[in-house]
Structure formats: C-alpha cells, structure tokens
Structure 1
Amino acid sequence: MKQPLISRRGLLGSGALAAAGLSIPSWARGQSLSHARQGFGELSGDTIDLSIGNHHFRTGGRSGHAIAVNGTVPGPLIRLRQGQDVTLNVTNNLEEDSSIHWHGLLLPFQFDGVPGVSFPGIRPGETFEYTFPIRQTGTYWWHSHSGLQEQAGHYGPIVIEGEHAHHMPDPRYDRDYVVLLSEFTPRHPHDIARMLMVGEHYFNRQMMTVGNGEMSLEDRLMWGAMRMNPRDISDVTGATYTYLMNGHGPADNLEYLFQPGERVRLRIINGSAMTFFNIRIPGVKMQVIAADGQEVEPVEVDEFQIGTAETYDVIVTPPDGSHALVAEAMDRSGMGIASLTSHAGHRAEAPPLREPVTLTMADMGMGGMGDMDGMAGMHHGSGGMVHPQMDHPMRDTSLLPDDVKVGPGIDMVSPMPMDRMDFPGLGLDNVDHRVLRYTDLKAAKANPHRMPTRSMEIHLTGNMERYMWSFDGKQFSAVTDDPIRFGYDERVRVKLVNDTMMAHPIHLHGHFFELVNGAGMMHQPLKHTVIVQPGGTATFDLTANEPGDWAFHCHLLYHMHAGMMQTVTVRPLRQEGEA
C-alpha cells in the first residue's frame, strides 16, 4: 500500500499536480498533498457532500459489516481553510438515525452534531446541512455521535490550513501526512457492549494469576478483595481488534514515503473507539509541535501516549532507509504498523510487542502508600484510614464529596488521588528513553491572562463488575435535566478526580481549555481532551465563551455509552432574585 512520493518542493505548478494525478484547490497550492492517497479520499471547498451508508470491510483475516462515509473506512479527509464559511451536506442512507460531530472545531452549538444535546440527529433518508465559519487551524477529526456507529467505521480526519497557507508554506517541513489510528472488529458494537456488561474481563487475555507465577497468593487475595485485577488496562483488546492506520491493518503493508533529508510532518489522530496507543519510530526522534490542533513549543521525544480523541502533530527527519511507525496498544495486545521509508516497496521490520502492563499502588489512588505491603497494612487497620466495616480502603465512600451520588454505580474510591500530569502513561514510566508528559507542553503563543473566579471538582466514577460509568456517581440518563452550568465568559478552574483504576480521556465539546500543568498561566497549553490517569487528578482552566449546550464525556466509546457523559450549558446565569 504505497504512498505517492510527492514533496512540497516538487509541487510547484499545476503540471506537476496533473502528472501526480492529484487535484488541489487554489488556496492549498504549495502545500504537500502526500497524505491524499492513504486509504481515504480528500474533499475541500465551500460546499462538501457526505453520504453515510452500510459497507463491508476487510483487513488481514477479519471482515465484517461497517459503516462507511462516501464509501470508505475511514471516511474522506476534509481539508478546510481558516476564514472560510463551509457547508457540509450530510445524507443518512442507514436504516437508523445518524450524525456527525466535528471533533475539536469551534462552531455554533446547533451544528456540533450530538443528538439529544445540540440537535435531533439525522433520520434515515434525510440530509442535514451543517453551516459554520472556520475559526482555527490544525489537525482534527469527525465521527458519529449516534449509538456505537463510531466503532463500525463512521469517522475521518480534518486538516485546517492557515488563511494564507497557499502562498506562505510552513518552512518547518517538506512533506505532510495524516496518520489516523483506529480499530476494526467483525463483532457488532452492541455485542461488545453486551459482553462487557456480562463480564468486564471478557476480552482480556493477559490476566495475572497465582498459577502462572506472576502473582503471590497474598497479592491475589488483596486484588480479590478489591474485585479487580492488576492487568485491567483496556476493556476491549487485540483479542477482537485489528489496529488500523488510515484503515489499514498490519498485514496491509502501509507505506509513508520520503526522500532522504526531508522533514516529515505526521498528523497523528487517535480516532479509535477504546484504545490508547503508544507511538514511536524506533531510532527516529519526534519533535512534537501541536497538541489537539493547537501549536506548542517544540518538544523532542522518542515516544508518546495518545489517548482516544487526542491529536498530536510531530516532525521527524528520518535517515535513509525504512523505519517502523508503531502504534502499540497501551495494554500491548497488538499494534498498528506502517513503514516510513525512502525505498518504495521495502517494509520496515516491526518490533515485538513489549511485556504487558501491570497496575501499581499509584493507579489505585494510593500514590503515597508505597507497595502492596503498605496496602496490606492499610487493609488491616494500621493506616488509620479504614473504617472497620469497610472491606477495603478503595470502597470508603465517606471520602467522596457530598454532591457525589453514592450507590451501585460506585465500587471504587481513590483514597489519596494525586496530580498525575507528569505521568507519561501506563507502561511508559519505566522505559529508558524520553517520553512525552503533559508537563512538557507549553503553548507556542501566550494566552490572555485571567485568574479563575470559581473552582469545581468532578469525580470520575464507575463500577467495573456492573460496567457502570458516570460523573459524580450519576449516569447520563439520570442527569439530563441537571447540566453543568457555566456563565458566559466565566473563568473556572475544573479539577477532575479519577476514582477508578482505568485511564479516561475526557473531552469537552465546543471549547478549548488550558491544562494546569506548571507551564505558567500565560503558556498553559490548550486542549479539548485530557487523559485523567487511574487514581489521579487533572486540572484545567476554562473560559466558557461558547454559548449553548455542549457534550462533556469520556471518549472511550463504551464508557460514554454506559453513562460517563454530562451536558455543559453556557449561558448567562440567573442573578440572585431572578425567577
């Protein structure tokens, strides 16, 4: 699956474009188009037509039903320009309602594409017209927000160029590629949801047991008391997933071509339903230049973790030869793989999967307790934190604030949650090379300085055995009439506390927030999605300056489906004494 060997230096006129078999809008001339043949088509212009329909998809030895947009999985790359007004006509040819959410885009809320929150959805046979101005630049993506369609292939990439990109190409790179990560499974998404409800370990083939020598009897009893397993890393794994790059599985031999000496921009999008990926190119350093579409001061790393719904742009200067572009699933049950190569047809050797990841005390919100022995002492009362009636400190619901609803939806409570912004991601804290951390990110341009006038704490809660997920113990179906309220232009500091032992990528629609990561208030990086590590906290500052109703949710699809979602309302708050 070769990529065209086209660089920006070579695309100097329409003749070169015609010879390459590519079309390009006048405003994009001079930019690299080498991403345009990576498994999906490309659409641009002021009016774009998209059609949602049933499809059959195959990769490697797996095949099954899919949902395609304009006939492909992933759907087409939508290339836009800052400052334009775009109309996107979306026709639903399915036998069920559908939608498209423009992930990370700033737009009027009625065009955000979330049924039940910002619009009613698109009924079978109908066309919905999305019309909005393009106010930003960067790397983003689009996907269905209806049911579990995203899992079935209903997603695609977005690239927004600067207003003057057609005559002011970026001098930092010579070649521009989109790398869209996802998964494919022949199982119907609702079957997966049902299996997770029946047994949350259904897809886990890496469980630790006493019998295989990986766990002592004492540790097994301790984890059993929590009704958890230290290999509970991912709910859905490579046991049923094939991991994709631009719709291509590892057997498809996807290539990204370059010429020696070129600087290559990789726009990496995690468009998966349930997978955190660890990204590396063994032997090639990566310079991170943007996070969630927003530019950051360049950071050189060897590897980084990308949560579901995040995007990172990196620049690499690979030496002559073939290099493996690796997207290893966080639980190390499989990987997406492609060749970054200067020799067409030459496949880079994939590295072996690394050892499975095992959870630690810090992942249980006991970061200051030391090791399992410390937990055992705590369990037997030596720590002074455990109520006599509690079977384990992680079930002490008295530690929760009063506004958290305690009930069957909560079976985990982090006793000592700590700020984990400096944590590189599960499994990456003990590698011997440089790994990106949120604390490395600094906004490339200074943000307006405003102190928050209010603070808010939101707990991420769940019950693994019942597969119930929520904010503050309240599942979405129970809180639709009780949204999170912000006053227009209000500046709020929000602290997310993860009381569970799973990492959650939390996404706020319609806004960018600033990570409170030690960068200083003028350079806190802007993001639309933040990973909240197990048993940890993450804090952001939000200027609520986009009026309307917005979705706020965990971007692990089955967690959102099981209730970890809320509505955020931004409008003038009622003044004291008003009806």
Structure 2
Amino acid sequence: MKIILVAVQLAFATLASAQHSHPNKNALDNPLSHKIEVSSGSEKTVTYHLYVSDTTVNYANNKIVRAIAINGQIPAPTLEFTEGDTAIIYVHNMLHHHETSTHWHGLLLPNIEDGVPYLTTPPIKPGGVRKFVFPLKQSGTYWYHSHTMLQEQSGLYGSILIHPKKEAHTVDHDVVLLLSDWTNENPSEVHRTLRRNDPASEWYTIKKGYAQSLDKLISHGSYFQRVKSAWTRMPAMDLSDVYYDAFLVNGKRSIDLSQYKPGDRLRVRVINGSSSTYFYLNYGGGKMLLIAADGLDVSPISIDRILIGTAETYDFLITVPSDGAYELRATPQDISGSTSVFIGSGEKVMARDISKPDVWNMNKMMMDMTVNFPGRMKMNGMNHGATENTDMDGMDMGGMEEKNKAPKKVSQEKQSQSDNQYPAHDMKMDDGEKILDSLQKQDHGGHNMESNDMAKMKLEQDSADHKAYGQHRETKEHNEKNMDHSMHDEMADHQIGQDSMADVVFNYDMLKALEKTTFDPARTKKNYHLTLTGNMYRYVWSINKKVLSEADMINVKKGEVVQFTLENTTMMNHPMHLHGHFFRVLNKNGDYSPLKHTVDVPPMTSVTIEFAADEDKDWFFHCHILYHMMSGMARIVHYEGSKRDTALATAPLKNLFKEDRQWFFYGNFAAKSHMSELQANYFNSRNAFRLEANANYGGQYEAEVSYERYLNDWLRPYIGFRGLQQKYYNVFNGRQTFEQDYELPVLGFRYTLPFFIEADVSVNMKGRVRAELEGEQWLLPRMFFNWRANTDKEYHLDIEYMLAKKLSISAGYDSRYRWGGGLLVRF
C-alpha cells in the first residue's frame, strides 16, 4: 500500500513539474486540483489533493527564479465547494528540505485544522502529508496560504469559493480574481534588506522613485516638515516596504474575460492575496456594486474606487458591456505598477489613472492612507473620533487631476452618465439589483439593454435630488462648521455619489450588515487596548511595544464578548486578522456594523472590533503584512482553561516564537586608496554582535568586536574588545599618544539621538573614555553623506553614491588617513 501511495505521489509530481513553465494556468480548469465529490443523501464530501513542490517562474524582467507551487501552478488551484459540504483536503509536502503548512483564511473550522504550525496544527514535514477535514459552515469568497516563514511570498496561496445553499443574487458566472505581488528576490533577502540599517535598506524606495533625499524634500517644499519629524526620530515616509517586480491577477500581469457574452452578469470575487500590498481597485466602466466583504453579504453599495487591504476579500456585481473591453484595474497603494482584468470584447476602455502619492508631504500622505476610515486620524495629538464625519467621507476630493479626467476612450457625455448615479448608503437588496441594471446593463451609449422602469424612476429621482442639492451646496459650505454632527453626517451621506465632480471612494462606514450583528447584552464584556507599535528604523513591529515571543497571551473566557481597541501609532497601514472568528467592525451603522475577519487599521487611527468568545482553543491574531508578522506584530488569543491538542506534542509552541527571534547578518567592505573599512552585524530584535574595523596601508588600524542588548528601541549597552595601533588624542592630558593594544576590554552604551544621530560612549580597562557621534544625510536619490567624529579629535567625512543595491562608489577624508576613494561592496 505504501508503495502504491509513493507511486501516486511521484505521478502527480511528474505532472506538476511538466507544468512548471506554465504556472499561471487557470485553477478552475486544472485537472491537478484532483477534485473528488461523493454524495450521501443531501450531504456531499468534496476531496482535493494538493501537492507542494519547488518550481521556477518568469514573471518579470525575463528572469527565471525559484518559486513554490501547488499542483504545479501559481496561484494554487481554486477550491470550490457548496455550503454544507464536508471538505477533505490532502496537502502533500514534496519539498525536499522544508516544512510547510496551509491556513484556510476566513474559514470557521475546528482549531486543529486551522493550519498555524506549532500553535494549532503540526507542520507538514518534508515528504509528509496532512489530511484536513472540516465542514463548510459558511459561503463566500475566501483563500488559503502557507503560514510557514515566507513561503506565501514564494507562491503558496490559492482561492476558495463556497457557493451558498440559496443564492442572494442572480448571476450568470462566478469570476475569482486573486491579486498578488511578486519579487524576483528571495523573500529572505527581502526581509534581510528591510532589517538592514544602511543605505541598502532604502534601495526599494529609490527603485520606486520615492527617495526622501534632500533635493526631493526641498523641491516639494517639505524640508522643514522632515526636519520636524526627524527630530522625533520618525523615519521618512513610505507607503509600502517592498519594491515588487510584478503585480499579478491569477498569476498573470493581465487577463481578459472576453469569453463572457454582453449582458452577462458576473459576480467578481476579488481576493487580496498579496504578501504586503494594499490595492486600489477601480473600473473603466464606471461604478461597481459591492455586495460582500470578507465572504459575507452586505447591503449593496455603489462605488468608484476601493482600497483593499492585504488578506481582505470583496465581491462585486458587474455586467459584461457590449461596446468594448473595460479594464478592472488593481493598483498598489504606492502606485508602483498595476495588474488588469478586461471585461468584454473589442476596443479596450482603460480605468482612470490614480495620481502618484506625495510621499514628501507627510500630513497629506497620512490623510490619503486613512481612506478606509476618513475623519479618524489623530493630528497633533487630537483624536477626531470614530463618530465624526466630514463632508469628505467616502469622497476623494484630492488628486483632482485624476478625478476630473474621464477614462480613456470614453466620451465626456458617457462619463457624465456614470458619475451621476446612486447614493452609496442604506440600499436594500432589491435596490442593488436595480442599480446594477442601470449602471452596467447599458451599451455605454446611454441606452439600456433591457427595459427597467424602476431604474429609470430612480435615475429621475436622483437627478432631481442632485439638482436640489446643487442649489443648497454653497450655503452648506458656509455653514457646515456650525452644523450639528448628526445633521453633518446626514448631509455627507446624501452627498456621496451625488456630486459629479467626485468619485465615490469606499470606506468602512459604508459597510452595513444585512441583519443585526449585536451580541446578547447580558454577556460579560472584556475590553483590551492594543497599541500597534513598531520601529521602522530597525524594522521591528510589535503590539504594546512587545513582539510575539516577548508578550503574554491575550486571555479570554468562553462566553465573553471581547472588544479590541486597536490604536495604530505607526506610519503604516496594518491589516489585522483574527483566526477562527468573525468580528464586528464598529462603525456608524451601529447594530448593523459589519462582520469581518480582517480589518485595515490606518496610521494614527483607532479602530474597535468585538467578537463572541465561543471557541475553546488558542487562535492567532496578527498583522497580515507578511514581513510585519514575521518581525513580531502578532498575539495568541488564549481561551482560559484550554489545553493544547495532543497532536501538537511533537510541535512545541516555542518554535513559533523563532520567527521574530530570527537572526540576520549583513555588512559592507570598502577598499579605498587611503584606507579600508569593514563592518559586519549579526542581530535579531533584541541582540546584536558587531564588528567594526578600519586600517590604512602604513600599519595603523583599529578594530572592535562587541555584543549589545537593546533595552528599548534606542538604547543598548554593550561589552566588547578593541584592538588598535595608532595615535589618538588623550582627553585627560591634552597630548597625542601612540597606543598599541591587542586585547583591551571595553564597556559602553549606544543611543540613537534625534535626527538618527548615533551616540557611542565607551571606557576601556585603562580608564580611557571616548565619546563618538556619527550620522548620515540623504543628499540625492542615490547619494549619501556620512560623517563621524570623536573625542580623540578624529573625524571622518565620506560621500557615497549607490551604483546598485550592493555596490557603491565611496570617497572622502579621514583625519588619520587623509583623502581617498574607492569601491564599497555590501554583503
């Protein structure tokens, strides 16, 4: 029997390897998904076999790189079920040297099946197989991915489609669109680059054209703003940590849906399966009807644009047009590329371009990043609150260059028709169907493809509303500062979707559940304030200033209602995901606040979620930006009294903590005409070993090896050994002294001052005290000025120009070794 099983595995591996040059094959058509259905009365068992194996891909720059595939394809096969089915999924690990795992993102299932290695589920060892069995209690759009190290970035992700027992919307076809980001670099190298503390850590920003260099700050009029933020040790602004070589939809740069007939109604299921990218989604055919969020149906809303956080899913109804191929475009938040889906046949009609962000203007950037929660950002210590809304909620009044421009190939007359449509709030299910007919079942020449009297009546009413609104708009602008908040909200809601000068931009306050989501008020409620913290300078991400391995678990009792207030004190968006539960995202809809499994928490905002503690085991809660989670932004939600499953006996929890305790190595070597320099660092989130050495070609040198411990983000005492043979200035007697010592212990501390100036104070066993300061100024996108000075009256000035990520030209002056220049190589 074992021989037969091995033979079957080898057969599937052979088939998978045959497809390695075509990893983008449509999952729904791929026989390797190996789907088996067995019915027993009204119940159905659906079985899949998934084979994880190494592969190669060529997604960008005509470069073949290594990846990991499931059944020979990236993304992995779409797993399709019907609500009430029982899923049986065999995951075969055919990797030679690495464990793997599979997490079923958003599914409510037994704890042991959740797929977080060492916490809920044992990892799948090389050559091993794991059988997952769970009932499908829900319907909707979900996905699955590896939860082992950085494998998700290498290709281990796929989509899940669960049909409801009873359809709420009539559609002709389901279309699953899985968005992802791709880098040709090894993901481990990406993570190491982010953790470096040298110019190489800025390489991704340079590649994207967002260098925070002196010339850029001056030209954008934001130099003094940068000085102010640097004084508080706030790093330069950025939207996304990583430079990606490609953005993909279903594993391709773009796809077309020309196979569908004009008038067909599509349920477009969009999954953000990226590792660290937020995507803007907009459509060349006008507004989209959003009908589901994170797998659950919501009150339909008509929108022009949405920012989809990492790991979120949204469903839309779109009707296939009759007069062209209309672009559905996903654009990363930093506008560093895009990926497209063309709906229909014929001439392409492009979606609107989204303006590049002004990353040099921090205040404007912060406002742009809070699109999902407008009006909540704290400015200058003031929290504008979750209940305050401005006239801008749901509308994008910035970047008017983009907003007032009609899609390419679409006339201004057609654009006017798509802009004057329907309000986005408080729509019933029937309204959603009518809006879809009106918005999308047109031939884009102003004529409906089918008669719809109700849609016409609604258009006429909206036109009248819009005209009346225009008459009072000027008066409202003069008086809105004195408005009562409740009236302000009402008018803001009315304006959304009515102003032809502004697109309807999605925000969470638009999400409204179809039924009340409140919990029994008699249940005990427990509140936790969780501060999302981090140090971009060191690239350490945490909650309440502690990484996962340092923190206590979040203790809950079964039967409680647990509320998390998530306060983001960082400059990055964080998509927070809770395993095993859906939670209420408390918004302006009160009792009808939506249920989600992943929520975006924008910079400098607070978001409150709550969930029913109805489970009985431990579950994972973490930021779904892969590199943030791996750097420590995670917690374990622990049910009091729960015990670990016996299947985890050989999978100790301490192995999970190794992720944020991971050690990194980096350094550089400079060979110049007057001296040589070597720096090397071996470190993790709390500890570091450092080697620094320099020498000229006349026999003078200095070298130091030290161990330092981070007590907080900025202060670290150290102990080490310093060897030197050179002249130095004695601060006690004011004389030049020649010293030669090969094994001299030193004690000291290092501290990061404002403007990221590094201070180093040390004393050796002979009582010699030395204080040193060093810093860096970013002059031009690829040029840096470095300086160093100490109390021995030594100083060092250096200009570095980056030729590539790992290679620079370096030249300057050293008080000991004089002028010179050469090459600097990073490793």
Smaller-chain TM-score bracket: 0.7 to 0.9
Name structure 2 gaps, 5 residues minimum: 1-25, 38-45, 370-377, 404-501, 644-827
Paired residues of 1:271 and 1:309 also in contact (CA < 8 A): yes
Aligned to 1:264: 266
The structure with the greater share of residues assigned to strand is 2
Determine whether 1:467 maps to 2:536.
no
Determine whether 1:67 maps to 2:92.
no
Distance verdict in 2 for CA 1:420–1:532, change over 3 Å: farther
Paired residues of 1:242 and 1:249 also in contact (CA < 8 A): yes
Residue from 504, 519, 525 that aligns with 2:594: 525
Aligned to 1:158: 160
Q: String of CA shifts for 1:257-292, please: whole Å, max 9, x gaps.
A: 432222221100000000000000023211111100
Residue from 539, 545, 550 that aligns with 2:619: 550
Paired residues of 1:40 and 1:77 also in contact (CA < 8 A): no
Task: Give the 3-state SS of the residue equivalent to 1:73 in structure 2.
Answer: coil
Displacement after TM superposition at 1:66 (Å)? 0.8
Residue from 146, 149, 152 that aligns with 1:147: 149
Aligned to 2:696: none
Give the letter for the 1:558 counterpart: Y
Aligned to 2:230: 224
**Alpha-carbon distance in 2 for matches of 1:35, 1:82:** 20
Give the letter for the 1:559 counterpart: H
Name structure 1 gaps, 5 residues minimum: 1-33, 368-392, 395-413, 575-579
**Alpha-carbon distance in 1 for matches of 2:615, 2:394:** 31
Of 464-473 and 212-221, deviating more is 212-221
Q: String of CA shifts for 1:87-107, please: whole Å, max 9, x gaps.
A: 111111112010000000001
**Alpha-carbon distance in 1 for matches of 2:31, 2:195:** 34
Determine whether 1:440 maps to 2:510.
yes
Paired residues of 1:112 and 1:510 also in contact (CA < 8 A): yes
Aligned to 1:184: 182
Distance verdict in 2 for CA 1:524–1:338, change over 3 Å: same
Q: How does 1:188-227 map to 2 (within 5 A)?
A: 188-199=186-197, 200-204=201-205, 205=208, 206-212=210-216, 213-227=219-233
**Alpha-carbon distance in 1 for matches of 2:158, 2:85:** 20
Paired residues of 1:208 and 1:214 also in contact (CA < 8 A): no
Q: How does 1:487-498 map to 2 (within 5 A)?
A: 487-498=557-568
Of 46-55 and 197-206, deviating more is 197-206
Q: TM-score, normalised by structure 1?
A: 0.78
**Alpha-carbon distance in 1 for matches of 2:586, 2:313:** 19
Paired residues of 1:418 and 1:537 also in contact (CA < 8 A): no
Aligned to 1:561: 630
Give the letter for the 1:233 counterpart: L
Determine whether 1:175 maps to 2:167.
no
Displacement after TM superposition at 1:313 (Å)? 0.4
Give the letter for the 2:180 counterpart: S
**Alpha-carbon distance in 1 for matches of 2:178, 2:34:** 14
Q: How does 1:47-446 map to 2 (within 5 A)?
A: 47-61=47-61, 62-94=63-95, 95-163=97-165, 171-199=169-197, 200-204=201-205, 205=208, 206-212=210-216, 213-228=219-234, 231-237=237-243, 240-250=244-254, 253-255=255-257, 257-320=259-322, 321-343=324-346, 347-349=348-350, 351-352=352-353, 354-358=355-359, 360-361=362-363, 415-419=381-385, 432-446=502-516
Q: TM-score, normalised by structure 2?
A: 0.55
Task: Give the 3-state SS of the residue equivalent to 1:455 in structure 2.
Answer: strand
The structure with the greater share of residues assigned to helix is 2
Give the letter for the 2:282 counterpart: R
Q: String of CA shifts for 1:230-263, please: whole Å, max 9, x gaps.
A: 64111013xx33000000014xx54454322222
Distance verdict in 2 for CA 1:458–1:424, change over 3 Å: farther
**Paired positions, count:** 483
Give the letter for the 1:36 counterpart: L
Task: Give the 3-state SS of the residue equivalent to 1:502 in structure 2.
Answer: coil
Determine whether 1:478 maps to 2:476.
no
**Alpha-carbon distance in 1 for matches of 2:196, 2:395:** 26
Of 61-70 and 326-335, deviating more is 61-70
Of 136-145 and 330-339, deviating more is 330-339
Paired residues of 1:515 and 1:525 also in contact (CA < 8 A): yes
Residue from 36, 45, 57 that aligns with 2:28: 36
**Alpha-carbon distance in 2 for matches of 1:427, 1:501:** 21
**Alpha-carbon distance in 1 for matches of 2:176, 2:397:** 24
With a CA cutoff of 8 Å and minimum separation of 6, indicate the structure with the bigger relative contact order.
1
Paired residues of 1:43 and 1:76 also in contact (CA < 8 A): no
Displacement after TM superposition at 1:71 (Å)? 0.7
Task: Give the 3-state SS of the residue equivalent to 1:496 in structure 2.
Answer: strand
Paired residues of 1:249 and 1:336 also in contact (CA < 8 A): yes
Distance verdict in 2 for CA 1:354–1:42, change over 3 Å: farther
Q: String of CA shifts for 1:414-459, please: whole Å, max 9, x gaps.
A: 9445546979899886653001110000111233543462221100
**Alpha-carbon distance in 2 for matches of 1:427, 1:190:** 37
**Alpha-carbon distance in 2 for matches of 1:126, 1:335:** 38
Larger Rg: 2
Determine whether 1:510 maps to 2:580.
yes
Displacement after TM superposition at 1:170 (Å)? 5.1
Give the share of equivalent positions with the same residue, in percent: 36
Displacement after TM superposition at 1:229 (Å)? 5.5
Distance verdict in 2 for CA 1:234–1:170, change over 3 Å: same
Distance verdict in 2 for CA 1:190–1:35, change over 3 Å: closer
Give the letter for the 1:203 counterpart: Y
Distance verdict in 2 for CA 1:191–1:136, change over 3 Å: same
Displacement after TM superposition at 1:352 (Å)? 4.3
Distance verdict in 2 for CA 1:171–1:506, change over 3 Å: closer
Displacement after TM superposition at 1:460 (Å)? 0.3
Give the letter for the 1:568 counterpart: V
Displacement after TM superposition at 1:541 (Å)? 1.5
Displacement after TM superposition at 1:570 (Å)? 2.4
Distance verdict in 2 for CA 1:293–1:39, change over 3 Å: farther
Displacement after TM superposition at 1:186 (Å)? 1.3
Paired residues of 1:304 and 1:424 also in contact (CA < 8 A): no
**Alpha-carbon distance in 1 for matches of 2:548, 2:98:** 22
Displacement after TM superposition at 1:555 (Å)? 0.1
Q: String of CA shifts for 1:169-221, please: whole Å, max 9, x gaps.
A: 55432221001000111110000000000155331131344424113432231
Distance verdict in 2 for CA 1:554–1:51, change over 3 Å: same
Distance verdict in 2 for CA 1:316–1:357, change over 3 Å: farther
Aligned to 1:535: 604
